[in-house]
Amino acid sequence: MSIHKEGYTSIFIALIVGILPALIGDYFKAPIFLNVILLIFGCVVIGLVLNFFRNPTREITLDNNIIYAPCDGKVVVIEEVIEDEYFKGKRKQISIFMSPLNVHVNRNPVAGIVRYFKYHAGKYLVAWHPKSSTENERTTYVIQALNGQDILLRQIAGAVARRICWYVKVGESIQQGEEFGFIKFGSRVDIFLPLDAKIKVEMGQKAVGGKTILATFS
Q: CATH number of the domain that 100 lies in? A: 2.70.70.10
Domain count, the chain: 2
pLDDT for position 132:
54
Q: Both 75 and 180 in a single domain?
A: yes
Sheet holding 198-199, edge to edge: 66-68, 213-216, 198-199
pLDDT for position 131:
56
**Is 3 exposed, middle or buried (CB count within 10 Å of its CB: 0-12, 13-18, 19+)?**
middle
Q: Both 89 and 23 in a single domain?
A: no
Q: Both 49 and 96 in a single domain?
A: no
Q: pLDDT per position in the chain (218 positions), as tens?
A: 688 787 688 778 878 877 777 677 666 676 777 777 777 887 888 888 787 788 888 888 999 999 999 999 999 999 999 999 999 999 999 999 998 888 889 999 999 999 999 998 866 565 555 555 656 788 999 999 999 999 999 999 866 555 788 999 999 999 999 999 998 776 889 999 999 999 999 999 999 999 999 999 98
b/e map 162-185, b = 16+ CB within 10 Å: eebbbebeeeeebebbebbbbbbb
Q: Both 100 and 19 in a single domain?
A: no
* CA distance linking residue 125 with residue 123, whole number of Å: 6
Is 2 among the catalytic positions? no
pLDDT for position 128:
53
Q: Both 162 and 80 in a single domain?
A: yes
Q: 173 in the Ramachandran plot: left (φ > 0), alpha (ψ -120 to 50) or beta?
A: beta
Q: Both 113 and 182 in a single domain?
A: yes
pLDDT for position 159:
60
Which among 152, 159, 94 has a CA at the least distance from the CA of 129?
159
Q: CA torsion sign, 88 to 178 to 55 to 164?
A: negative
Q: Is residue 60, in this structure, part of any structural domain at all?
A: no
> pTM here?
0.84
What is the rounded end-to-end Cα distance, in angstroms, of the chain? 35
Q: Both 49 and 119 in a single domain?
A: no
pLDDT for position 40:
81
Q: Both 21 and 103 in a single domain?
A: no
- The catalytic position among 10, 132, 187, 218 is 187
Q: Is residue 92, in this structure, part of any structural domain at all?
A: yes
Range of the domain at 13: 2-55
Written as one letter, the residue type at 24 is I
